[in-house]
Structure 1
Amino acid sequence: MSSTSAIQLLPDAVINQIAAGEVVERPAAVLKELVENSLDAGATRIVVEITDGGRRLIRVRDDGVGMDRNNALLAIERHATSKLRELQDLDSIRTMGFRGEALAAISAVSQFTLITNRADAVAGTEILIFGGRIQDVRDAGAPPGTEISVRNLFFNVPARRKFMRTAQTEFNHARQAFLLEALANPGVAFILRADDEELYHLQPTDSLVERIRDLYGEEVTRHLRPLDFGNGIVEVGGYAGLPPFSRLDREWQVIFVNGRPAGSPVLNFAVQTAYRNVLAGGRFAPIFLRLELPQDLVDVNIHPAKKEVRFRRPTEVRDVVIEAIRMAISGPELPSARPPAFDPQPVATRPPAAIDLSPAQAPPPPAPAVKPSMPPAAPPVAVVQPALDWTPPPAPVPEATGPAASPWGDYRLLDRIRGGYVVLETDEGLVLMDPRSAHERVLYERLMIALEEGRVPSQGLLPPIHVQPSPTQTQALRKHMELLQKMGFGLAEFGSGSFLVDALPVWLAGSEPGPLISDIADGLMQGGKGSASEWAGSTIAMAAGRQAVSLQQELTDPELHALVKALSQTEMPYMSPRGKPTIILFSTRELNRKFGRE
């Protein structure tokens, strides 16, 4: 073996930088570790400051017990901790941290300052560390507690620094880490400042739902139901969102295991299973779930950043969580995401509503919205307006002149069959039509034409609704404000990071403005540069699906004739905007082959 490949011990500086790669993924991980140290120190007030998304500065200040000089110097050594003494302690660990490696790893890849003091001490201690090397240790005047400042993260590890994302992206992750810790500890006051702007000032509270209201707003809180179920070993608390209130991602789904923000494939599966039959696919209801069980039944030491846990009885945990959620959200008015089974008998108490597919005049302009001096707390009351058919007359269709004519150029309405399908006879054979898919296609193209021509009417809201999206959602809404107004949204900024909604497009009438604006912003963020127009198309497709005739609605003959005519005048008559067939043609030749005539 050559001397260049000889095995040797790595220097401590290199070991710490390698360890930092596991513990310190990005600024959000630094924030999480520092805040959890503050919580373990008994802090009742934690102030977090971030500059440039945490790339230039992360500072955490608390009013915990603080440290004397000897303990402060030990705290920055690898595997030095006050929370464990022997291996068996891992089976009963209740503190957030326990490995004693975070501060050593963080200080190895940053310009690190620790200031700490105890209430009974004459003077505090200040330690300056530059890339893992102690530069100075001195007395400092400081209040009881600890303040840690982490500057220029990964300044001495260029390979890691170049993989950090933009300031906004890193801030989004840091903000999410802050929210998790604030939710897990409602009895602690939390303050978050970013680039000298105070974003959150959370007062301590005994109520989790109050902390949820402070962080996510009244709109989310109104749709929560308490979780309270257990089997004597596994206990579930917190709050679950009542369908159909939901969003496009899992940002509102937070799980705490014995007070620790953590996840598990078992818990994710349980939440998904509990909502499977009551929530449409791709939607995620808010849930703030607290799971309590004996410490020896959960392993918290399986993930470098302590983000995941493992259960000794996963099946038992799963079943209790599913039952807890189902009990919380069940009730006589629980909506279902699945369409009801087909009933061939007409509903006597509610005759089917007629659909008007003929040209209609535009509705009157929306009622003017009154700008309040303060954000209103009352729910919206939609202004009553005429029927939805506000679209322009369709363009005339040229006469069919040859065999390429559409299969319904000349047709005869034969009958309706089970399932709501309609049977037509044409010169080419038989046509099966799905009225719902056909109606979706007609509505979709009319709405898209109105959008492209910039003449989407709005429906006023009385009173206007105040919504407060996240900082990243706010940026997306500002960027695409003109498009949203063109789409019929009455949207305007109302103070710092909040918006006032005084009108919605008529094709979204009845939607709740808060979740709707949140979904729009999420779609704009996820789709990149072209997401605005793509979101409009997909949203209009969903709106057309909601407004199309139901599977139980039996159309009259005149309505069916109007629908066939309108479908023949669309640009893509054979497919609904959701990719489902509108008609299926069985040509005479195909029928002859099947019956052996050819």
Structure 2
Amino acid sequence: MTIRQLPDTLINQIAAGEVVERPASVVKELVENALDAGAKRIDIDLEDGGIRLIRIRDDGGGIAPEELPLAVSRHATSKIASIDDLEAVATLGFRGEALPSVASVSRFRLVSRRPDADHGAELRIEGGRHGEVVPQAHPPGTTVEVRDLFFNVPARRKFLRAERTELGHIEDWLRTLALARPDVEIRVSHNGKPSRRWKGEGNLLSEVRLHEALGEEFVRNALRVDHAGAGMRLHGWIAQPAYNRASADQQYLYVNGRSVRDRNVAHAVRQAYSDVLFHGRHPAYVLFLELDPRGVDVNVHPAKHEVRFRESRLVHDFVYRTLHAALADTRAGAAPAPAYAATPGALPAHAPVAGGGHAASGAPAFAPQQQAIGLRVADAPAAYAALYAPREEAVPAPFAPAVAMPEDAPGGMPPLGFALAQLHGIYILAENADGLIVVDMHAAHERIGYEKLKAAHDGEGLRTQPLLVPSSLAVSEREADVAEREAETLAQLGFEVQRSGPQSLLLRSVPALLAHGDVEALLRDVLADLREHGSTRRVAETRDALLATMACHGAVRANRRLTIPEMNALLRQMEATERSGQCNHGRPTWTRFSLAEMDKWFLRGR
């Protein structure tokens, strides 16, 4: 078979197969070009879900008339000029493929005017065949018009979906963009009717775009995250565990401003939520990861949906530790933190901030406690006492004893209020400043015991137990390579492992707490994590599962009658315990009913 050079039109159509999947792909490429040109307003006109027409108009820097043919030539771009530029890409586009690819599979029109020009210029292309550049009236900026997408590639056109489906994909991507660029106004019309307007009045610390894109409920449950370290910064919002989803439909990640999907970061987020999320549910978040552009390769996917990190283990650990610290502050009774800050870099005093330090988390620095057994709730002092000291026993006793109050302790009702009664031996009813608090006493006490057990074992450090007879494991060659390379990491996790052959390992010691479990299966899972993510929490998660079981058995059971002081002691411990808003299995431990809500039940005030 003879080797021959492909014609340019066919080359562009092949490239279009990678870049242009559907109308949403066209909108993405053209809008990103507009943003790279400095646009502050973008108008998007669509017909038939973008299949019949996509028209993008911006107020950016524009293109000179003599450069219009070059703009629709393959690999022609103003965004990079050398390999150094490619290794530190700071723009959304950089390959110069979008316009020629789109023009090769549509009836294409490009009109642009530079701000200092007297008039604009127009270039038309139909199915890859170029027309002449002609003068055209146009305001400063650029308009790109794409008609009859895939009209000359019927095999691709027949794979397009119904109008509503294609429009939905466009709207989904615009929502993703709007969250990242609240400084840009975006107007959308469909079939001649205005369908959406994103006001360009906010910045990344504003809740306006959050509310517009994800709704009031997300905003109400969002925790602000902002932490820098190791040459990176992670900021944005994560939803409290109680606000979770059946799918991953509210997960938005941006790396240096670019919306991407990354398995490494997604894994770190799942691990951060693993202790507080109900099985099968998904967290919601809008996160912006910033790092040196030279540390991330954005040129690994034709549509730029994925990236590759130079230090993937460092990125994974940074994201995990940041979010893990933020979620630790989700104590029961703590007021939800505002999902915005008044000024860039400033956070409200009670907004949890992940990372090396925290602003006050909303949980009290002191725990309120009744003075003595037998006091009526109405007589209980509104004061705060020191947090309870850790107890010695492995599974903590149900409740700490009453703590004496200093006479000059600050006044005020504690977040979870004071106990009123027990309901059906299961729930504690308490009155706080806003209304009624209902606590699942077993779930709450289970979390308290679990956190104390974790703290005790973390304080002791990880102990190892030598095996009386070393165990030989048959593994793949890749697993053996990982075990040999990561021997020091495995030792820190409690495994003493030696390579005994190309496909075999010798296991000499294991984590003491897990010695009676299936340590060989655990080791294989650890090796898989180290190979795929460069890090692992398998040992910690397995240990935590065991401690969670211990805490569950040690927690107060249903139908146990508690005294008022015992109930109040539990409430105070909840306020002082990390992650106490959820039990060890991710179920909520408490809920609140405000007076306003209860007034509505009984039509009060009407």
Amino acid at match of 1:298: V
What are the within-5 Å matches in structure 2 for residues 61-140 of structure 1? 61-140=57-136
Mapped contact 1:225–1:242 kept (Cα < 8 A)? yes
1:214 paired to 2:219: no
Structure 2 CA distance, aligned partners of 1:117 and 1:154?
Answer: 28
Amino acid at match of 1:553: A
Partner of 2:176: 180
Equivalent of 1:231, from 226, 229, 233?
229
Amino acid at match of 2:54: I
What are the within-5 Å matches in structure 2 for residues 266-277 of structure 1? 266-277=264-275
Amino acid at match of 1:90: L
Structure 2 CA distance, aligned partners of 1:262 and 1:76?
Answer: 26
Structure 1 CA distance, aligned partners of 2:318 and 2:325?
Answer: 11
SS of 1:227's equivalent?
strand
- CA separation of 1:93/1:551 partners in 2, compared to 1, >3 Å: closer, same or farther? same
Deviation at 1:164, TM superposition (A): 1.1
Equivalent of 2:558, from 546, 553, 572?
553
SS of 1:82's equivalent?
coil
What whole-Å deviation, never above 9, does each CA across 1:55-114 have from its counterpart, x for those lacking one?
111111100011111112110011110011112211111011000011000000011111
Deviation at 1:551, TM superposition (A): 9.1
- CA separation of 1:381/1:196 partners in 2, compared to 1, >3 Å: closer, same or farther? farther
SS of 1:272's equivalent?
helix
Mapped contact 1:109–1:155 kept (Cα < 8 A)? yes
Structure 1 CA distance, aligned partners of 2:425 and 2:208?
Answer: 46
| TM-score with structure 2 setting the length | 0.56
Deviation at 1:137, TM superposition (A): 2.7
Q: Which runs of 4+ in 1 moved over 6 A?
A: 341-349
Amino acid at match of 1:61: R
Partner of 1:282: 280
What whole-Å deviation, never above 9, does each CA across 1:559-582 have from its counterpart, x for those lacking one?
xxxxxxxxxxxxxxxxxxxxxxxx
SS of 2:108's equivalent?
strand
- CA separation of 1:284/1:332 partners in 2, compared to 1, >3 Å: closer, same or farther? closer
Mapped contact 2:398–2:556 kept (Cα < 8 A)? no
Give % identity: 42
What whole-Å deviation, never above 9, does each CA across 1:5-54 have from its counterpart, x for those lacking one?
31111111111111100010111110110000000000011111222111
Mapped contact 2:187–2:196 kept (Cα < 8 A)? yes
SS of 1:255's equivalent?
strand
Partner of 2:424: 353
What whole-Å deviation, never above 9, does each CA across 1:184-216 have from its counterpart, x for those lacking one?
211111112222332321222124432112222
- CA separation of 1:92/1:347 partners in 2, compared to 1, >3 Å: closer, same or farther? closer
Equivalent of 1:150, from 121, 146, 149?
146
**Bigger Cα displacement from structure 2, 49-58 vs 24-33:** 49-58
- CA separation of 1:35/1:332 partners in 2, compared to 1, >3 Å: closer, same or farther? closer
Amino acid at match of 1:300: V
Partner of 2:314: 316
Partner of 1:57: 53
| TM-score with structure 1 setting the length | 0.56
Q: Which runs of 5 or more structure 1 residues have no equivalent in the other structure? A: 336-340, 356-379, 385-418, 420-549, 557-598
Partner of 2:191: 195
Structure 2 CA distance, aligned partners of 1:133 and 1:44?
Answer: 32
Amino acid at match of 1:95: T
Structure 2 CA distance, aligned partners of 1:316 and 1:138?
Answer: 53
Q: Which runs of 5 or more structure 2 residues have no equivalent in the other structure? A: 334-393, 402-418, 427-433, 439-445, 447-554, 562-606
Query: How many pairs align?
Result: 359
- CA separation of 1:207/1:265 partners in 2, compared to 1, >3 Å: closer, same or farther? closer
- CA separation of 1:344/1:235 partners in 2, compared to 1, >3 Å: closer, same or farther? closer
What are the within-5 Å matches in structure 2 for residues 363-402 of structure 1? none
Structure 1 CA distance, aligned partners of 2:240 and 2:275?
Answer: 13
What whole-Å deviation, never above 9, does each CA across 1:462-511 have from its counterpart, x for those lacking one?
xxxxxxxxxxxxxxxxxxxxxxxxxxxxxxxxxxxxxxxxxxxxxxxxxx
Structure 1 CA distance, aligned partners of 2:272 and 2:125?
Answer: 50
Structure 2 CA distance, aligned partners of 1:172 and 1:261?
Answer: 18
- CA separation of 1:328/1:146 partners in 2, compared to 1, >3 Å: closer, same or farther? same
Deviation at 1:323, TM superposition (A): 1.7
Mapped contact 2:180–2:204 kept (Cα < 8 A)? no
- CA separation of 1:330/1:100 partners in 2, compared to 1, >3 Å: closer, same or farther? same
CA RMSD of aligned residues (A): 2.9
Deviation at 1:346, TM superposition (A): 11
Structure 2 CA distance, aligned partners of 1:254 and 1:245?
Answer: 15
What are the within-5 Å matches in structure 2 for residues 16-55 of structure 1? 16-55=12-51
Amino acid at match of 2:51: R
Deviation at 1:128, TM superposition (A): 1.2
SS of 1:127's equivalent?
strand
Partner of 1:245: 243
Amino acid at match of 1:294: D
SS of 1:318's equivalent?
helix
Deviation at 1:334, TM superposition (A): 5.2
Mapped contact 2:42–2:56 kept (Cα < 8 A)? yes
Mapped contact 2:110–2:142 kept (Cα < 8 A)? yes
Structure 2 CA distance, aligned partners of 1:115 and 1:82?
Answer: 18
- CA separation of 1:141/1:265 partners in 2, compared to 1, >3 Å: closer, same or farther? same
What are the within-5 Å matches in structure 2 for residues 169-568 of structure 1? 169-204=165-200, 205-208=202-205, 209-331=207-329, 333=331, 351=422, 353=424, 552-554=557-559
Mapped contact 1:38–1:62 kept (Cα < 8 A)? yes
Structure 1 CA distance, aligned partners of 2:318 and 2:100?
Answer: 40
Structure 2 CA distance, aligned partners of 1:281 and 1:127?
Answer: 55
SS of 2:42's equivalent?
strand
SS of 1:48's equivalent?
strand
Amino acid at match of 1:89: D
